[in-house]
Amino acid sequence: MQWQVHHKKSQSAIVGTIIFIIAAFIIAGVMLSLINYNQDVLTTQKNSIQVQQMASLMEKDILAYYNYTNNKIYINVSSMAYPYSYYISGISIILKNGSYITFDQYSRVSNILNVIVKYANGNQKNYNYLPVSMNPNSSALIIINNINSNPLGISISVVNGKSIAVIPVENLQQLISSLIARGVVNVVPPTKVVYNKYFNVTFSIISMIWYQGIPPSYSNSTWSVSMYYQTLSSYVLIKGNYYHAHSYAPNITFSNVPSGYYYYYNVSNIIFPGKNYYYICYPDPSSGIILVNQNTLVNITYNCYFG
Amino acid sequence: MINKRAVSNIVAEIMMILITLAVGFTLIVYLSSAAGGFVSLTNSNSNQAQLALQQYIVPMGSYISNGNLYFIFNSGPLGVQINGVYINSTIVNTCSILFNKTSYSLSHYIPPDAVAVIKCTNVKPVASLVTVSYNGGEVYAMASPS
């Protein structure tokens, strides 16, 4: 009987082992599946957070302005702080006459839409459809023709991978007129300021037009340019002066100007003193605005009169 | 006899363990497959639900003109299922969606990265709060007479 007892003990141990191993396999299988599921959920959550962050960056760093002239809307889109490529995927325009115009990738080719993209290397490419790809530091001029009513509101949508953001397009004419009418400081609080990027601005006299007489052959003078850089709470002033000898029209170049929301510039008059008379020369344009963009050249013509 | 019994027991135990392992592996394959299928189905349903919840629309403009309300929006990277429109918290049944030169009644799905327009007729020309409900939630915009 001894061996029978041992045999029963042995059998119960085997059954226990079998149950234990099967239970271990079941638990392992379920655990593996749960771990996979949990990882999927985490990945989805991470993607969602990244999408929100990317959209926020695009809204902050991509700038757009429009100008309505001669039945055409000109929209300037640029970014010097957004370090990624993106697409201009949609345009929406609300007009004063109650109508609207939209463009997207489903609109196909449009004969009233012209998008000129200027890349960082200076190359240009024209499109008349969306979406349009924008590399870092590239800018786009969007021209929309045959617009017979003033635009009331314009916005563009931009896409980066899974993220999408809408950029309100600001009215450049209102911006400039309010600056000229009320002064420079704190007139239009900028909503977007770009830091840590630099560009060059060159003011060049391209012509001196002498009215009421011949140009002086002996007088020399100076001219200057002031640039006001609007920031969130204050402004900075950059001044350039240049000695202006007769028949010599040098440039004034501001190198490595830090990017901001915009610069408002004033160009000085030039006075050529004489013994009995003097010439006074007025610049055209005498003031203006420079948007955050690539290197900029401002051409100035001086109109000179007897003073 | 005792030795033979002992050998037979050991062989039997080894065989039983091997059989158990085989059954265990078969079970884990089956369970993994079954659980995987279940998790996959759950994931699929969950993903679909999450994708629906991840739908978002971005308002691009809204205004009221000639008794019509216009709400221009971008359909986002996943497209969007538009379900209904409320004006000042009251549901409006006179709305349609204009997309790609075609008008659709609500509810309707708009494909990704599209610019579409919701148009509601018979709207009072006063500044109004527009609420658009879609599969991912709701979005609000103010619409003023142009």
Q: What is the mean pLDDT of each run of 10 residues along chain A (307 residues)?
A: 55 72 75 72 71 76 83 83 86 93 89 87 86 87 91 91 84 66 43 62 87 72 80 59 68 80 81 79 84 76 86
B43 is in which domain, residue-wise? 1-54
Residues B86, B113, single domain; the answer is yes
3-state secondary structure of B99: strand
Fold (CATH) for A62-175: Immunoglobulin-like (2.60.40)
The residues pairing with B115 across neighbouring beta strands, listed in sequence order, are B74
Chain A residues closer than 8 Å to B114 by CB: 90, 104-106
DSSP string computed for A226-289: EEEEE-SS-EEEEEEEEEE-TT---EEEEEEEEP-SEEEEEE--EEEE-SS-EEEEEEESSEEE
**Residue closest to A198 by CA, chosen among A262, A291, A123, A292:** A292
The residue in chain A having the minimum alpha-carbon distance to the alpha carbon of residue B98 is A102
Residues B49, B108, single domain; the answer is no
Q: Which residue in A30, A41, A157 is closest to B35 by CB distance?
A: A30
Instruction: Give residue limits of the domains in chain A.
Output: 62-175, 183-306
Tokens 């000085």 belong to: A268
- Suggest the residue from B14, B55, B69, B115 to mutate for an interface test with chain A (most A CBs closer than 10 A): B115
Same CATH topology for A62-175 and A183-306: the answer is: yes
What pLDDT sits at residue A249?
A: 65
Q: Do residues B129 and B142 lie in contact, with contact meaning Cβ atoms separated by under 8 Å?
A: yes
Angle at A160 between CA B48 and CA B109, to 5 degrees: 40
- Minimum distance, in Å, between the CA of residue A202 and any CA atom of chain B: 37
Fold (CATH) for A183-306: Immunoglobulin-like (2.60.40)
**Residue closest to B72 by CA, chosen among A203, A90, A127:** A90
pLDDT above 60 (res B44)? yes
Residues B71, B131, single domain; the answer is yes
- Suggest the residue from A95, A157, A158 to mutate for an interface test with chain B (most B CBs closer than 10 A): A157
Chain B CB within 8 Å of residue A280 CB: no
Q: How far apart are alpha carbons A119 and A63 in whole angstroms?
A: 16
What pLDDT sits at residue B111?
A: 93
Q: How many CB pairs under 8 A join A and B?
A: 127
**Residue closest to A164 by CA, chosen among B55, B33, B40:** B55
The residues pairing with A203 across neighbouring beta strands, listed in sequence order, are A252, A298
Chain A residues closer than 8 Å to B54 by CB: 48, 51
What pLDDT sits at residue A189?
A: 41
The ipTM assigned to this model is: 0.70
8 Å CB contact of B9 and A7: yes
The residue in chain B having the minimum alpha-carbon distance to the alpha carbon of residue A39 is B43
Interface of A with B in 162-201 (CB under 8 A): 162-166
